[in-house]
Structure 1
Amino acid sequence: MEWLQSLFFGGGIAHAVLIFSLAITLGILLGKIKIGGVSLGITWILFVGIALSSIGMTVSGDVLHFVKEFGLILFVFSIGLQVGPGFFASFKHGGLTLVCCAAAIVLLGVATAYILHIVTGTPIPTMVGILSGAVTNTPGLGAAQQAYADATGLNDPTIALGYAVAYPLGVVGIIFTMIFIRYALRVKFEKENEGLAALSQEHKFADKVSVEFTNKILDGRTVEYLRDLINRQFVISRVMSSAGEIAMADTDTVIHTGDRLCVICQAEDTEAIVAFFGHRVEMADEEWGGNTPDAELISRRILITKPSVNGKKFSDLRLRTKYGITLTRVNRAGVDLIPYQGLELQIGDRVMVVGTAKAVAQVADVLGNSLKKLDHPNLVTIFVGIALGVLLGSIPLMNVPQPVKLGLAGGPLIVAILIGRFGTHFHLVTYTTMSANLMLREIGIALFLAAVGIGAGDGFVDAVVGGGYRWIGYGVIITVVPLLIVGLVARLWLKMNYYTLMGLIAGATTDPPALAYANATAGNDMPAVGYSTVYPVVMFLRVLTAQIFILFAL
Structure 2
Amino acid sequence: MWQFFADNPWVAVFAVITLGALLGMVRFGPVRLGAAGVLFVGLLVGALDEDIAAAVPAGVSALGLALYVYTVGLESGPAFFRELRGQLPVMAGAVVALAVTAAVVGFVGHRGFGIAGPFLAGGYAGIGTTTPGLAAAQDASEDPTQPAVGYAIGYPLAVVITIVFVSAIAARRHWTARRDPGSGLPATLVTRTVQVARDLRWADVPGAAAHRVLASEYRPADGVTRVARELDRLSPGDQVVLVGGDEDVRAATDALGSTAPRHLLDDRSAVDYRRVLLTNPDLAGHTVGELGLGEKYGALVSRVRRGDFDMLAHDDLLLQLDDRVRVVMPRERTGEVTRYLGDTEAEVSEVSAVSLGLGLTLGFLIGIPSLTLGSTTLALGTGAGPLVMGMVLGWRRRTGPLVWTLPTRANLTLRQIGLLLFLAVVGLTSGYSFRENAFSLFGLKLAAVLAIGAVVSYALLVLVAKALGQSRERTMGLLSGYVGNPAIVAYANSRASDSRINNGYSTLFALAILVKIVCIQLIVGL
Q: 1:525 aligns with which of 487, 491, 497?
A: 497
1:287: how far off?
A: 4.7
Q: 1:86 to 1:207 in 2, by over 3 A?
A: farther
**Partner residue of 1:477?**
452
Output the amino acid matched with 1:24: I
Q: Deviations over 1:150-173 (max 9, x none)?
A: xxxx34432222212222333222
Q: Deviations over 1:65-114 (max 9, x none)?
A: 4122112112212222333343334458x866765665554344223223
In structure 2, distance between residues paired with 1:461 and 1:142:
20
1:258-407 residue pairs with structure 2 within 5 A?
260=238, 262=240, 279-284=255-260, 286-288=262-264, 296-312=270-286, 318-333=292-307, 334-340=309-315, 345-396=319-370, 398-401=371-374, 404-407=378-381
Matched, 1:241 2:217: no
**Partner residue of 2:178?**
none
In structure 2, distance between residues paired with 1:239 and 1:112:
62
Q: 1:59 to 1:319 in 2, by over 3 A?
A: same
Q: 1:95 to 1:452 in 2, by over 3 A?
A: same
**Partner residue of 1:172?**
160
Q: 1:441 aligns with which of 415, 418, 434?
A: 415
In structure 2, distance between residues paired with 1:375 and 1:74:
15
**Partner residue of 1:8?**
5
Q: 2:106 aligns with which of 114, 120, 124?
A: 114
In structure 1, distance between residues paired with 2:267 and 2:437:
79
Output the amino acid matched with 2:222: A
In structure 2, distance between residues paired with 1:490 and 1:343:
28
Q: 1:391 to 1:454 in 2, by over 3 A?
A: same
In structure 1, distance between residues paired with 2:367 and 2:379:
6
In structure 2, distance between residues paired with 1:285 and 1:16:
67
Is the contact between residue 239 and residue 260 of structure 1 (CA under 8 Å) also seen in structure 2?
A: yes
Q: 1:430 to 1:113 in 2, by over 3 A?
A: same
**Partner residue of 1:17?**
10
Is the contact between residue 481 and residue 508 of structure 2 (CA under 8 Å) also seen in structure 1?
A: no
In structure 2, distance between residues paired with 1:237 and 1:459:
62
Matched, 1:547 2:485: no
1:136-151 residue pairs with structure 2 within 5 A?
136-146=129-139, 148=140
In structure 1, distance between residues paired with 2:257 and 2:289:
32
Output the amino acid matched with 1:483: Y
**Partner residue of 1:195?**
none
Output the amino acid matched with 2:294: R
**Partner residue of 1:86?**
79
SS of equivalent residue, structure 2 residue 59: helix
Q: 1:74 aligns with which of 67, 70, 74?
A: 67
Q: Please, which moves more after superposition, 376-385 or 311-320?
A: 311-320
Identity of aligned residues (%): 27
Output the amino acid matched with 1:109: T
Is the contact between residue 46 and residue 431 of structure 2 (CA under 8 Å) also seen in structure 1?
A: yes
Q: 1:262 to 1:84 in 2, by over 3 A?
A: farther
SS of equivalent residue, structure 2 residue 397: helix
Is the contact between residue 95 and residue 533 of structure 1 (CA under 8 Å) also seen in structure 2?
A: no
Q: Deviations over 1:383-402 (max 9, x none)?
A: 33222211122234x44246
In structure 1, distance between residues paired with 2:143 and 2:126:
18
Output the amino acid matched with 1:167: Y
Is the contact between residue 348 and residue 431 of structure 1 (CA under 8 Å) also seen in structure 2?
A: no
Output the amino acid matched with 1:421: W
Q: 1:335 to 1:549 in 2, by over 3 A?
A: same
Output the amino acid matched with 1:78: T
Which consecutive unaligned segments of at least 5 residues does structure 2 have?
A: 176-180
Is the contact between residue 218 and residue 240 of structure 2 (CA under 8 Å) also seen in structure 1?
A: yes
Which consecutive unaligned segments of at least 5 residues does structure 1 have?
A: 193-197
In structure 2, distance between residues paired with 1:316 and 1:176:
45
Is the contact between residue 423 and residue 430 of structure 1 (CA under 8 Å) also seen in structure 2?
A: yes
**Partner residue of 2:42?**
49
Q: 2:151 aligns with which of 148, 163, 188?
A: 163
Q: 1:416 to 1:489 in 2, by over 3 A?
A: closer
SS of equivalent residue, structure 2 residue 322: coil
In structure 1, distance between residues paired with 2:359 and 2:71:
10
CA RMSD of aligned residues (A): 4.3
Is the contact between residue 420 and residue 430 of structure 1 (CA under 8 Å) also seen in structure 2?
A: yes
SS of equivalent residue, structure 1 residue 383: helix
Q: Please, which moves more after superposition, 440-449 or 481-490?
A: 481-490
Q: 1:187 to 1:64 in 2, by over 3 A?
A: same
Is the contact between residue 82 and residue 420 of structure 1 (CA under 8 Å) also seen in structure 2?
A: yes
In structure 2, distance between residues paired with 1:142 and 1:516:
25
Output the amino acid matched with 2:5: F
In structure 1, distance between residues paired with 2:319 and 2:34:
37
Q: 1:438 to 1:553 in 2, by over 3 A?
A: closer
